[in-house]
Amino acid sequence: MLTRAASCFVSRNKKRTVYTMGKKRIGILTSGGDCPGLNATIRGVARACFDEFGDDVKIIGIQNGYYGLINNIAREMEPREFSGILTMGGTILGTKRQPFKMISSIGEDNIDKVKQMKDTYKELKLDCLLTLGGNGTHKTANLLSQEGLNVIGLPKTIDNDIYGTDVTFGFHTAVDIATDVIDRLHTTAASHSRILMVEIMGNKAGWLTLYSGIAGGADAIIIPEIPYDIDKICQCLQKRSDSGHNFSIVAVAEGAFSKEEAKMKKKERAKARADAGITTATATIAQQIQAATGIETRVCVPGHMLRGGSPSAYDRILATRFGVRAAQLIADKKYGYSVAMIKSEIGENPLEEVAGKTKFVDPDGGYVQSAKALGISFGE
Ligand code: F6P
């Protein structure tokens, strides 16, 4: 039996790979933007695997997502490394954005990254690979699965936009943080008789803005799924002001765009904004509101704070349950799936059915309808 007592990550170039043979070898990586709950998921997977397989399992941590898989930067992890991480934000494995386009094709660097990932999988003698990530991560996971690797995906993202799962881990923590931001903006907006706009992460989907906007009592919620009409936003805010409210709160998803911009291609839209000297929808809307209503308007961008810190109780439980399900799938040798919450039950979807699809807010769905029933404007 060979043993690698690795206390640090070892790269392919260093050629120091020694293995513990005869054990089930589970590779695990976190890819894309981080979020609270990644470590809770890693812990859930590890503890459930130790429970299921006892000493017959080795967990191989792959550093910085697919970058680590491409370059064989990985190490066998000790059971103690999975203790004390339930409450930790970020990821103990590190992460990196590796766009699917760059990974799946041979670029200027002339490196066949898919081949290298398959080589690493073989070199590490993995029985399976767990990929914790968002939409891009799932696309690559599906590709690797189609290439014959045993892959299981776990859905993370504060954006909650992974197709096929009711919810992703990280989302509810971010909703709590964004709601806290909106709560705090209320007092300063009211003190200064201002309109406070908050730009919330979510490039393609507006889930985080919608949930935190409702929870925080925003007066208008602007999301990419419902292109806005600036006149409608201004009318709603003017009406509030006329009826005696001295402040308003507007929650805007970072990926929001106007009805005019909806007719443009993405590049065209970016150029039009650059030409106007303002790059974000939030800043554009703020300027237009102030000009139209005369009410002093300010913008707050919590940005990456929405992804930071300890996971909420909800996310710790969700992450743990997803981790346990992944361990069950390994025990059943059921590969090529992504763990999911389906109609409030933990289950899984075939990777090929969910990879490459985005879960959008339904403009006619229950959440938007409830918000409208409260008088919240979507700028339509
Ligand atoms: O994690 C997803 C996300 O939060 C998006 O909402 C946002 O556009 C993006 O990450 C920004 O992340 P980064 O700065 O890491 O590229």
Contacts of 183 (CB under 8 A, 6+ apart): 216
Is the pLDDT reported for residue 93 higher than 50? yes
Of the pLDDT bands very low, low, confident and very high (cuts 50, 70, 90), residue 22 is low
pLDDT in tens, 136-194: 999 999 999 999 999 999 999 999 999 999 999 999 999 999 999 999 999 999 999 99
Tokens of 6: 């690795």
The fraction of the chain above a pLDDT of 70, given in percent, is 94
How many whole angstroms from 18 Cα to the centroid of ligand 1?
Answer: 36
- How much is the pLDDT for 16? 46
How many whole angstroms from 54 Cα to the centroid of ligand 1?
Answer: 37
- How much is the pLDDT for 7? 40
Whole-number Å distance between alpha carbons of 373 and 233: 17
pLDDT in tens, 332-350: 999 999 999 999 999 999 9
How many whole angstroms from 254 Cα to the centroid of ligand 1?
Answer: 10
Provide the 8-state DSSP code for 158: T
For 47, phi then psi, to 5°, come to: -65, -40
What architecture is domain 173-307?
A: 3-Layer(aba) Sandwich (3.40)
Is the pLDDT reported for residue 6 higher than 70? no
Q: Is residue 94 lining ligand 1, measured as CB closer than 6 Å?
A: no
Predicted structure pTM score:
0.94
Q: Is residue 201 lining ligand 1, measured as CB closer than 6 Å?
A: yes
- How much is the pLDDT for 278? 84
Q: CATH topology for 24-169+311-354?
A: Rossmann fold (3.40.50)
pLDDT in tens, 320-330: 999 999 999 99
Q: Is residue 33 lining ligand 1, measured as CB closer than 6 Å?
A: yes
Torsion sign (Cα): 86, 131, 165, 378: positive
Torsion sign (Cα): 164, 169, 170, 173: positive
Average pLDDT estimate for 282-296: 97
Any catalytic annotation for residue 159?
yes
Residue type for 220, please? Answer: A
| Closest C-alpha residue for ligand 1 atom 15 | 33
Number of H-type helices and E-type strands within the chain: 14, 11
Whole-number Å distance between alpha carbons of 69 and 123: 11
Beta-sheet pairing, 74-76 with 57-62: antiparallel
Q: Would you kindly state where each structural domain of the chain is located, as residue ranges? A: 24-169+311-354, 173-307
Of the pLDDT bands very low, low, confident and very high (cuts 50, 70, 90), residue 10 is low
Question: Which residues does residue 59 pair with via DSSP β-bridges, in sequence order?
Answer: 26
